[in-house]
Chains A and B, each alone.
Chain A
Amino acid sequence: DAKTTQPPSMDCAEGRAANLPCNHSTISGNEYVYWYRQIHSQGPQYIIHGLKNNETNEMASLIITEDRKSSTLILPHATLRDTAVYYCIVRVATAAGNKLTFGGGTRVLVKP
């Protein structure tokens, strides 16, 4: 699986949009971009994933650049409960290559 690079930490204000960047310059054509988050002392929670088109769900939006070498996770209105470590992972979504390899992630602190 391709490696990803994320900033180690970022702060954002409650109620504002939080934009979390991720670089994956070595991503290959059949690798998806996945985002998970981990709230302290809990298991990771799936947020969103995409291949090349932008995606949106009830939790977040995922913007993938045209060359697919980077992406941004957008939390539209951050709340205090969004404080967590956010992991960007790229992987092939096939039966054989389904394991997730976690990098360091971005530690997001939402402040009132």
Chain B
Amino acid sequence: GAVVSQHPSWVICKSGTSVKIECRSLDFQATTMFWYRQFPKQSLMLMATSNEGSKATYEQGVEKDKFLINHASLTLSTLTVTSAHPEDSSFYICSARIRGAGELFFGEGSRLTVL
């Protein structure tokens, strides 16, 4: 299947700093990518939809100024957690859809720990 790669796979940062997570589609072009967050023993929660060349669409309750999303090319979307706090510690997962196809492919996830 198609490959979606995330980097870094894990990151530890101090409270108040910003962290950027990259999501790349390695062997296909993705006009749309999705960002999810998952807390321990919970299901995935959709945060936002990232569209290449336009502003992201955020789900209700997700702060767009806190979670900055940029989708500058057909193979790269980035999620920046600004002024991170311990409650932002979570598993962040991106997914991407092959243009014209139905199924979504997911990255390996990025585990963020804010001290």
Q: Which A residues fall within an 8 A CB radius of B?
A: 32, 34, 36, 38, 41-46, 49, 87, 93, 95, 98-105
Contacts and interface: CB of A to CB of B under 8 A. Distances in A.
Contact of A32 (B6, B43, B45, B102): B102
B103 A44 contact: no
Contact of A41 (B102, B104, B105, B109): B109
Nearest to B105: A46
Contacts of A95: 32
Interface residues of B: mostly helix, strand, loop or mixed?
strand
14 contacts: A34-B103, A41-B91, A43-B95, A43-B109, A44-B93, A45-B106, A93-B102, A98-B102, A98-B104, A99-B34, A102-B36, A102-B44, A102-B46, A105-B43
A99 B49 contact: yes
Interface in B89-115: 91, 93, 95, 97, 102-109, 111
Given A98-B104, A100-B95, A44 B44 contact: yes
Nearest to B111: A41
Given A42-B109, A49-B102, A98 B46 contact: no
Contacts of B61: none
Contacts of B111: 41
The range of chain B's interface size is: 20 to 34
Nearest to B45: A102
A63 to B, nearest CB: 19
Contacts of A100: 34, 46, 95, 104
A81 to B, nearest CB: 16
B34 A104 contact: no
B107 A43 contact: yes
A38 to B, nearest CB: 8
Nearest to B101: A93
A104 B103 contact: no
Contacts of A32: 102
B43 A103 contact: yes
Interface string B18-52: 00000000000000101010000001111001000
Nearest to B94: A43
Contact of A104 (B43, B46, B91, B93): B43
